[in-house]
């Protein structure tokens, strides 16, 4: 059995923006939404599912804090009902992202994906 079938809510490799060219295309051609703690870009893609890319620099905090921010962002993205359309979403975390709650991250994703 495929791991995604065993865990249907898993965030698999296919759900991530991993190639540098795709990340750059999303940032350069995508629609930009700026929040105090995050910068989010969205661009329609050619695959049938949404993909998420994350950039969390050392300015946000040490490795533990950066990984916590990434886990929360992935979960907030995964829980969105409106993410069924094929879109690439790139999130650049700013320093204040470590203080964001899951609820606030979900609100930011809803605001971004509602207009797409």
Q: With pLDDT > 70 as the criterion, what percentage of the chain qualifies? A: 86
The SS3 of residue 81 is: helix
pLDDT band at 6 (very low <50, low <70, confident <90, very high): low
Task: Using DSSP, state whether 43 is helix, strand or coil.
Answer: strand
pLDDT tens digit string along 48-75?
888 899 999 999 999 999 999 999 999 8
Look at residue 84 and tell me whether its pLDDT is greater than 70. no
Between CA 100 and CA 84 the distance in angstroms is: 24
- Percent of the chain past pLDDT 90, that is, above it, reads 52
H helix intervals, 11-101? 20-29, 63-78
Report whether pLDDT(5) > 70: no
């Amino acid at each position: 059995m495929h791991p995604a079938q065993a865990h249907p809510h898993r965030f698999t490799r296919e759900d991530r923006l991993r190639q540098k060219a795709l990340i750059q295309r999303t940032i350069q051609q995508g629609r930009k939404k700026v929040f105090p703690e995050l910068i989010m870009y969205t661009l329609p893609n050619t695959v049938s599912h949404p993909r998420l890319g994350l950039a969390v620099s050392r300015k946000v905090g040490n490795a533990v804090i950066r990984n916590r921010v990434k886990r929360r962002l992935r979960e907030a993205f995964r829980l969105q009902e409106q993410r069924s359309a094929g879109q690439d979403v790139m999130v650049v975390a700013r320093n204040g992202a470590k203080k964001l709650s899951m609820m606030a991250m979900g609100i930011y994703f809803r605001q971004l994906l509602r207009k797409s």
